[in-house]
Amino acid sequence: EAQVTQNPRYLITVTGKKLTVTCSQNMNHEYMSWYRQDPGLGLRQIYYSMNVEVTDKGDVPEGYKVSRKEKRNFPLILESPSPNQTSLYFCASSSQQGGGNTEAFFGQGTRLTVV
Amino acid sequence: QKEVEQNSGPLSVPEGAIASLNCTYSDRGSQSFFWYRQYSGKSPELIMFIYSNGDKEDGRFTAQLNKASQYVSLLIRDSQPSDSATYLCAVGRRSNYQLIWGAGTKLIIKP
């Protein structure tokens, strides 16, 4: 079954304690990205990766890091989380065909609370 | 101006009627357009994509694209209460494959 798997689904942490949210896809997609979703603001892209070892900032990258050492995995790292990073996070992957993106497949989401 | 704009709603439509959702975008070079449905707290799921001007139909859903006017719309015929959700418009940026998302329109289907 084609899927994007995020873990954990829910996380409560304290300010400053480093955390990693994992994301893995089994569709051999080149393109992966991380979004955060906040009420009234829609999906905002944090980072994206067009292939292994190729990552770039999205619209709201401050306070986040990513890596893409393997095609299937794209972890999101918060080195020193702050309360303003409390949000619902989604990982997504898609294939690049014909010069454009095809359907984006989303993970189940990670609801992060930083206290 | 936001790159992709949607009316946030809520849009209230009687059951059985046609729901019309609209989206405008600013990048004239955009080539791929997507409509996603998202239930509260859940992941977005793809409803339709459209690449060419005109209409594209899939069951009760029709996507309409007008590149000259830079808008894309989604029509839902015979609306059902289960269609109540937030509908997200996404536009593919040609330069780097990024998907740019609208903030979504909340649709409520009244029984």
pLDDT in tens, A48-84: 998 999 999 998 999 999 999 999 999 999 999 999 9
pLDDT recorded at residue B6: 94
Instruction: Provide the mean pLDDT of chain B.
Output: 92
Residue A98 has pLDDT above 70, yes or no: no
pLDDT recorded at residue A114: 98
Q: Do B43 and A106 touch (CB under 8 A)?
A: yes
Model confidence pLDDT, tens digit, residues B35-51: 999 998 899 999 999 99
pLDDT level of residue B104 (50, 70, 90 thresholds): very high
C-alpha separations of B105 from A21, A79, B12 in Å: 28, 34, 11
The tokens for B40 are 């509260």
Q: Which of A45, A100, A106 sits opposite B32 (nearest CB)?
A: A100
Give me the sign of the Cα torsion angle A70, A75, A80, A85: positive
Determine which of B38, B99, B105, B106 to mutate to test the interface with A (most A C-beta atoms within 10 Å): B99
Q: Do A42 and B102 touch (CB under 8 A)?
A: yes
Query: Phi-psi region for residue B16, left (φ > 0), alpha (ψ -120 to 50) or beta?
Result: left
Q: Tell me the residues of chain A between 32 and 61 that have a Cβ less than 8 Å away from chain B.
A: 33, 35, 40-45, 48, 50, 56, 58
Q: What does the alpha-carbon distance between residue B103 and residue A24 come to, in Å, rounded to a whole number?
A: 26
